[in-house]
Structure 1
Amino acid sequence: MNHKNILFAILIVLALFIGNTATAQVLMPTTNANKVSLNGTWKFKYIASTDIGADSAFANPKTDVSKWANIKTPGNWELQGFAEPFYGKNLKAGTGLYRTIFKIPATWQDQPIYIAFDGVQYGYELWVDGKFAGSFSSSYNRQTFDISRFVSSGKSATLAVKVSTRVKGWEFDTNDDWSLSGIIRDVTLFSLPKTHVKDLVVKTNVGNHDATLSVSALVETVTGIAPAKNTSVSAKLLDAYGKPVKEFILDSKASAGNTTPFGQSVKIDAPHLWTAESPYLYTLNITLKNGNNELQQYSQKIGIREITWTNGVLKLNGKPIKLRGVDHHDLSPVNGRAVTEKEMLQDLKLIREANINFIRTSHYQPHPRFIELCDSLGFYVIEEVPFGFGDEHLNDTTYLPVLKGRAKATLWRDKNHPSIIIWSVGNENPLTPICIETGKYVKSLDDTRPYCFPEVGSYFGRIAATFPDQIDILAPHYPDASTLRGYADRFNHPMVITEYAHSLGLDFDRMESLWEIMYAHPKLAGGAVWHFFDQGILRKSPEKTAPGKFTTSVWLDSVTVYDNSGNEGADGVVYANRVPQVDYWQVRKVYTPVKALDDTLQVVPGKQQVKIKLINRYDFTNLSERQCTWTLYADTTAIQSGISPMACAPHDTLTLGIDITLAQKLTASYYTLKLQFKDKQNYTFYEKTYLLRNGNTLPDFRQKLAIKPAKPVLNGNNISFGNFGFEVNQQTGMVSLKDASGSALIADGPYARMSRKTTMSEQATTAKSTGDNNPIWQPHVLTKPAAKIESISANKVLVSYNYERQNIKGQFITGTAEYTLSDSGRVDVKYHFIPNNAKGMALEAGISFLIPSSLTELRWVGKGPYPAYPGKNRLDEFGFYHKNSADINYQGNHEQVNLAVLSDAKGKGFVLVANNANVSVENAADGIIVSHNAYVSGRYNKGSNPERSVRIENLKDISGSFSIIPLQSTWPLALRQLFGDPSHVAVPFKPFYNSYDQ
């Protein structure tokens, strides 16, 4: 070894001890008799500096801290009013001084005493009764300290902890989230016998009909000598009901210092294998004895399962698996990093109900209870060794011990959990030599699981050809569809896209197409969308908001906000308080483990069997363990129902036959068949609605809703028909529709629609664009055209329009709108617009009208209940829907609309009749804008344009047709049969005072 290498080795050894002194990583006891929680209210002082000055003696028990503030521990000091919270690396220098008094139980006499900190941001030193007891600096890793020499059984002691935001490697813990500070997880006092189990390693291998269970125990004696020769370790394996399965003795190996390893491998016949679909847990009880004297009992829940990867395919128990995933932080909007078990269970319940089977713990080791719950509830986990966001240090070899220390602490705590199937090493870091060395170190610590380096997509692309072959899993971020297809067979390693769709705001493009590519290719094991919840913290704002005002956060009232730090944290599929967004329901539908492959069903009257093709996307579950219920509807009335048995192996397809009877005379407007798929807990995890078609015809609502014949009469520029009047403005060409009292049903229009409301994701993507290269037209509706009435009569009005793009001269939308008035009381609209030297992206291109805000009720027949766009429409099904304009999900585009009713609370308004059209609604300052869209682009993803988009310069025309039928408060029978009484008002789902992308 040359001098340079010797120096490097010395630096590594020294650095392993820097900031981690007096530590004693041992297993915490599993019996409460040997543990005392120190959680509670502590004394606290915050100093906005790393220099504590006159408080340097705070650790001395004689220092009076009675006038210090109280702080809830665990908790973050920023969320308890001691400092301002900051996001990411904006974390400010600061120090928190903690003091508390604890008592050692008298029964712990002559036993070693330890204290464990499960998580402290960012680094800390501790003193017991004024004596320095150790230090540590990795925010999310557990560290244990031997404090035996400082305390006595039956007596009290003073614990003092100095927490600093500036320690070596603090940047690694700033993550993509709020950088909060303090003691964030449990603090536990515990004792062990002098000879005890220091470490336990459980490994399982799965055969065809049996499994091998390997158990290794490291026994330590704190007296400095090896455990006595008559020390023994035995194991008992119990099934999920507590019944003994196997008992065996562990063989001892050669002692090393004061430790002796023990180990044994045994066969388990016909084992229950652990999977996320069947999370069967055994209990492994370890008994440590000295002769006949029992020293210690230790208990561990374990799962029998094996992770392998062959020919680039990731397998569990020898079978390929697909990871339907989401990224997840440890964060509560109220409790910060001090997440409670109740909050964890809430998250996991929502995650399960969204058909997610895989969680990536971004970007650190989560709370230990979270992993235990993943074991028992059934989730695959990628657990992350925490060192993202410190790229500037990753070419500095003195940081290698820091990285390896974090890796060791992560694997030490969680290596025996069956839910963890992959180790993630850092996040989006450059692949420097010390990163590669850390990955190798992870592999040396655990050869039963693969590991990966999650990489920024562009960086991954540049280095893909030079990835070291020993990296088990490849993990690029945010590939587009064509790039992902290219990756599918390029590598001989499994690929997990640990971040593949960014749910910034409500846009969330790409998920559906990318997931289908992953599902179709064996080497693409799956991926995780970013992120499960908004990283919002609940706080008061000095600035007020108002409903409808553009915001990047979510407001409970004008000053109470779930603060997302601008758009940095607004990227969840649920809001910060876990209210599901539209994105959540999209995830649920895309990730469904049962997928129907048909969209429409052709039928004829009479008895018949409709056949529906299903695919079972479970990896281990036969569909015989699930239930399919179905209901046949005539409009909104259920006329037949049943349960259809299913038997289909994983990854296979099934043709489901359902016997229905349709009357010879079909009197309803629509006949639909609704399928619901339920799990063993009776939760409906997937539903599919089929429109049953007798031929290819749709109901003709132009005839069904015809009113008593009323011949149109022209009077100047006003055409009266029945109780309504249609008027065109001679100067502006704008039209209006009014009732007999003069109240407007349509107040203004037509507008040329060339975009849609600005979203956060659009802003983030186009922030650096200029007028010349910005593809987005804003304002998104052109409201003041040059117009000319080409012709006008009692039956027809033809107007030509020339709309100039606002703020950018020389770009026009020109064309005509034709209004035909019939004797049956409707206005047929045809429009034909042509881009003239116009450029950019047509997010939505069509025609718009302004209606009064009093028309609060929107009812429609078509896809629903949520707004839908290309690439984001899997969540919707055909049906009959009703929303109020105050509903958080009211605004947006609706697909395959045949009929839309816009009315006030009494039913007065109008019907828009179309043929499988895109119809959008949005609240505006002076009313509601209703649009018929000829073209609709997909939504944005953070940093990327819509995957499915329409360029204005490629459009030959923007045209469409629909009919408008004015309504009085007494509705035609056909309308009441679809939607009921017109005076019924929808109760708006309005969980917030104001929110983003609304």
Structure 2
Amino acid sequence: MLRPQNSATREMVNLDGTWRFAVDWGHEGLSDNWQSGPLPGRLDAPVPGSVNDLYHDEKIRDHVGYYWFQREVQVPRGWNGERIFVRVESATHEGTVFVNDTKVAEHTGGYMPFEADITGLVTPGENFRLSIAVNNELVNSSIPPGEIIELEDGRRQQEYKHDFYNYSGLHRSVWLYSAPEVRVEDATITTDFAGDTGHVNYSVSVTDTADADVQVRVLDKAGSQVAEASGDAGSVEIPGVTLWQPGAGYLYDMVIEVSQGGDLKDSFTQKFGVRTVAVEGKQFLINGEPFYFTGFGMHEDHETLGKGHSDAHMIQDFQLLEWINANSLRTSHYPYSEDIMDYCDRHGVVVIDETAAVGLNWAIAGGIMGGTAGGTYEKGHVDDSTQATHKEAIRELVGRDKNRPSVVLWSIANEPDTAVDGARPYFEPLVELTRELDPSRPVGFVNVMFAPAGACTVSDLFDVLMLNRYYGWYVQTGDLRTAEASLEKELRQWDEQYAKPTIMTEYGADTVAGMHSIYDQPFTEDYQVAFLDMYHRVFDRVECMIGEHVWNFADFQTKYGYARVDGNKKGAFTRDRRPKAGARALKQRWAEKLGR
């Protein structure tokens, strides 16, 4: 799905701001047609934003079910003769959209955009009522999955298997936009280069191909044309090409123009970068050069905002990534905002792009505590309905991010249960689908430490190994000498068994900012530094290791539990982005590792 843009033939109106807000306490909003009039009550809510941390009523935070958002929208009077769309960049986890009384869209999956053509329901120059019902429920067929618990007193509680808070709301922007009847519907760009010549293959989908003439022009960063072609599919060469590289995100514009009978119908500009990605032996190559990942698993998580997107917070986070010498990130554990992805494209930040398939593991809860009864791959847990949802999540992710040069690796799941027989028939079709959708990038998944080398049943299916390991924290707690031996032993087993490039996608220790000891005691900043140093010594001794992503960039909110006091404290930075001692240790480590 192409992201809307302003062009000679298109126009956008941003609908962010304060919306009317209501909690559907009795689960009656849909049946009682709340969309047909003003929402009950007097509450407001921000868009973008999470609703959970805003109100003094704890019942709103804990509500399981629907939240409703509503506002009046004026259609620009100059949009006569255009197709008119409403686009929701995310509704966590399910969104139902109404224009006045009419339902126009439904979408399941809290981290991807969806839209509806509302042309026949609105009039340029006039207002309409836009209502969005957002459901925060997670069930076994969701990605991520969960369970609804009905208590004896009638309350409903949400159980889920992932270790971050289940924030809900309209977390990203909402748009009204116009586009021509005959328009670019999709575009796919792949690149290669030889010497100083770039090779660009493209294909364009147009809504009406009858007598449609497609022209393609490639512009460099200065706006000068460097290549052109005709037709809805083909290739162009860019002489003297400037490559997209880590830390130097050079982007070209592909201007796609659609005409009929000599009249311009649509103009759409797709940005792209010329670069290659490959796996050769134990190396991960970008533009033919070995790449070593330094950075973090991150979260879209801030105080008050929850998972709501904020440009100011985004800029601050990327400035901290630059300061600490991180060259990459993983979108743990869901696709991130398109604004974040745009930033990575522009600035050369390398991205491991992950679906929201976290918690596919009935043996654990959030990766740290005992699990519930039953196996993972059985009816009512992770089953055929879950797999169908997972396939759609992969299609949506690849469809949204396939043209992004920053994305070098697809991660189709985080910490699933892969030490059991049911894992292979579940994951093999997903790997095949991902490669079919995008043959140009490697595919991986993130392995949990309960499926170690020799026990995982699916790792041979993937191009890159990604491991989450917590020796010295969840096991062998505080005993870094024993943990070092255990970590090295397992990494060497992976290397001997698969000889594939391997990234440590999570390693870290909960650390209370300001807590110190003359001993390396868990939860102190001193222990965090010693823990990280130990892992780095091991990485440097094992040949297959080509990356280190610390868990986590910053402290983040989780559901309550005895192991989570005010959230997960494994951040190199506090939740309000103050560096712990580990941050300075990482800054020095990565400067040396990258030769800076």
Coarse TM-score class (shorter-chain normalised): 0.7 to 0.9
Structure 1 residue 108 and structure 2 residue 79: aligned?
yes
CA drift at 1:206: 2.5
Which residue pairs with 1:287 in the alignment? 257
Against the structure 1 CA distance between its residues 516 and 320, is the aligned structure 2 distance closer, same or farther, given a 3 Å change threshold?
farther
Partner of 1:166: 137
Which structure 2 residues correspond to residues 676-825 of structure 1 after superposition, within 5 A? none
Q: Does 1:512 align with 2:533?
A: yes
Distance (whole Å) between structure 1 residues aligned to residue 401 and residue 57 of structure 2: 33
Name the larger-Rg structure: 1
Alpha carbons 2:100, 2:130 under 8 Å: kept: yes
Give distance in 2, aligned partners of 1:82 and 1:124: 25
Structure 2 counterpart of 1:429: 416
Bigger mean CA offset, 237-246 vs 315-324: 237-246
Corresponding letter in the other structure for 1:363: H
Give secondary structure in 1 for the equivalent of 2:462: coil
2:501 to 494, 497, 505: 494
Q: Structure 1's 215 and 327: CA in aligned 2 closer, same or farther, altered over 3 A? A: same
The answer to whether the aligner puts 1:70 opposite 2:20 as a matched pair is no
Name the counterpart of 2:394.
407
TM-score by length of 1: 0.50
Partner of 2:433: 441
Against the structure 1 CA distance between its residues 288 and 519, is the aligned structure 2 distance closer, same or farther, given a 3 Å change threshold?
Answer: farther
Say which of 324, 338, 343 aligns to 2:308: 338
State yes or no: 1:379 paired with 2:379: no
Question: Letter of the aligned partner of 1:498 in structure 2?
Answer: T
| Secondary structure, aligned partner of 1:482 | helix
Q: Report the aligned-residue RMSD.
A: 2.7
Q: Is the 8 A contact 1:481 1:513 kept in 2?
A: no
Q: In the aligned structure 1, how far is the partner of 2:81 from the partner of 2:166?
A: 41
* Cα distance, 1:418 vs structure 2: 0.7
- 1:252-291 mapped onto 2 (5 Å cutoff): 262-291=232-261
Cα offsets for 1:283-334 (capped at 9, x unmatched): 2222222232111121222111000111232111111111112111111113
- SS in structure 1 of the partner of residue 497 of structure 2: coil
Corresponding residue SS for 2:285: strand
The alpha-carbon distance between structure 1 residues 265 and 520, as it changes in their structure 2 partners (threshold 3 A), is: farther
SS in structure 2 of the partner of residue 78 of structure 1: coil
**Residues 410, 441 of structure 2: 8 Å contact kept:** yes
CA separation of 1:59/1:288 partners in 2, compared to 1, >3 Å: closer, same or farther? Answer: same
Partner of 2:464: 473
Query: Conserved in 1, the CA contact under 8 Å of 2:19 and 2:44?
Result: yes
Residue 115 (structure 1) shift: 1.1
Aligned length: 526
Segments of 5+ residues of structure 2 without an aligned counterpart are 146-159, 362-375, 472-486, 513-524
Pair 1:361-2:352 in alignment = no
Cα drift, residue 40 of structure 1: 1.4
Give the direction of change, closer, same or farther, for the CA distance of 1:486–1:400 in structure 2 (3 Å limit).
closer
1:463 aligns to 2:455 (yes or no): yes
**CA distance change for structure 1 residues 54 and 482 in 2, over 3 Å: closer, same or farther?**
closer
SS at match of 1:96: strand
Does 1:135 pair with 2:122?
no
Q: 2:32 is matched by which residue type in structure 1?
A: S
- Contact 1:79-1:85 within 8 A present in 2 as well: no
Aligned 8 A contact 2:143 2:386 in 1? no
Q: Which moved more, 1:160-169 or 1:303-312?
A: 160-169
2:14 equivalent to 1:37: yes
The answer to whether residue 120 in structure 2 is matched with residue 149 in structure 1 is: yes
Mapped contact 1:195–1:219 kept (Cα < 8 A) = yes
- CA shift for structure 1 position 73: 1.5
Residue 547 of structure 2 aligns with an amino acid whose one-letter code is G
Q: Which amino acid aligns with 2:583?
A: Y
Tell whether 2:210 aligns with 1:228: yes
Which residue in the other structure is 1:584 paired with? 583
Specify the SS of the correspondent of 2:34: coil
1:219 aligns with 2:206: yes
- CA change 1:79–1:449 in 2 (3 A) is same
1:184-223 to 2 correspondences below 5 Å: 184-221=171-208
Query: What is the match of residue 451 of structure 1?
Result: 443
- Check 1:566–1:396 CA distance in 2 against 1; reply closer, same or farther (3 A cut): same
**TM alignment of 1:77-96, pairs within 5 A:** 77-81=51-55, 84=58, 92-96=63-67
CA distance in 1, matches of 2:34, 2:167: 23
What is the distance in 1 between the residues matched to 2:541 and 2:47? 48
**Matched residue type, 1:476:** L
- Residues 48 and 86 of structure 1, relative CA distance in 2, 3 Å threshold: closer
More helix by share: 2
Q: Judge conservation of contact 2:294–2:328 (CA < 8 Å) in 1.
A: yes
Quote how far apart the aligned CAs of 1:184 are.
Answer: 1.0
Question: Alpha-carbon deviations, 1:169-223, whole Å to 9, x = none?
Answer: 45617642221111111011111111111111111113233221111111113xx
Return the alpha-carbon distance in structure 2 between the equivalents of residues 85 and 235 of structure 1.
54
Pairing 1:8-23 to 2, within 5 Å after superposition? none
Give the C-alpha shift of residue 462 in structure 1.
4.4
Q: How far did 1:248 drift?
A: 1.8
2:520 aligned residue: none
After superposition, what is the alpha-carbon deviation per residue over 1:65-120, rounded to whole angstroms, capped at 9, x for unaligned?
Answer: 37532211221111221754999xxx651321222111222222222221111111
Of the structure 1 ranges 25-34 and 109-118, higher mean CA displacement relative to structure 2 is found in: 25-34
The structure, 1 or 2, with the larger RCO (C-alpha pairs under 8 Å, 6+ apart) is 2
Q: Is the 8 A contact 1:30 1:299 kept in 2?
A: no
The separation in 1 between residues aligned to 2:435 and 2:304, in whole angstroms, is: 37
Tell me what 2:220 maps to. Answer: 239
Distance 2:468 2:166 in 1: 23
Specify the SS of the correspondent of 1:515.
helix
In structure 2, distance between residues paired with 1:418 and 1:122: 28
8 Å CA contact 2:557–2:566 kept in 1: the answer is no
**Which residue pairs with 1:524 in the alignment?**
545
Q: Cα distance 1:155–1:323, how it changes in 2: closer, same or farther (>3 A)?
A: same
Letter in 1 for 2:451: Y
- Whether the 8 Å contact between 2:501 and 2:544 is mirrored in structure 1 is yes
Residue 571 of structure 1 aligns with which residue?
A: 570
Distance change (3 Å), C-alpha of 1:395 and 1:79? closer
Q: Compute the displacement of 1:421 (Å).
A: 0.5
The aligned counterpart of 2:518 is none
Determine if contact 1:323/1:525 at 8 Å carries over to the other structure: yes
Shift of 1:353: 0.9
Instruction: Report the CA distance between 1:389 and its aligned residue.
Output: 1.5
Distance 1:316 1:533 in 2: 28
Output the amino acid matched with 1:459. A
Q: Please tell me the residue identity of whatever aligns with 1:512.
A: D
Shift in Å, 1:518: 3.5
- TM-superposed CA distance for 1:246, in Å, is 1.3
Structure 1 unaligned spans of 5+ = 1-24, 222-226, 252-261, 538-551, 553-563, 596-616, 619-684, 686-998
Query: What residue number does 1:301 align with?
Result: 271
Inter-partner Cα distance in structure 1 for 2:31 and 2:382: 37
Change (3 A) 1:83 1:453: farther
- Contact 2:68–2:134 (CA<8 Å) still a contact in 1? yes
Question: SS where residue 571 of structure 1 aligns?
Answer: coil
Q: 1:335 to 1:588 in 2, by over 3 A?
A: same
* 416-425 or 384-393: bigger deviation: 384-393
Q: Deviations over 1:129-186 (max 9, x none)?
A: 1011121111111112222232222221111111112255456176422211111110
SS of 1:399 mapped into structure 2: helix
On the 8 A contact 2:360/2:417 being kept in 1, the answer is no
Q: Report percent identity of matched pairs.
A: 22
Task: For residue 268 of structure 1, give the secondary structure of its aligned residue in structure 2.
Answer: strand
- The 3-state SS of whatever aligns with 2:587 is helix
Equivalent pair of 1:503/1:529 in contact (CA under 8 Å): no
1:819 aligned residue = none
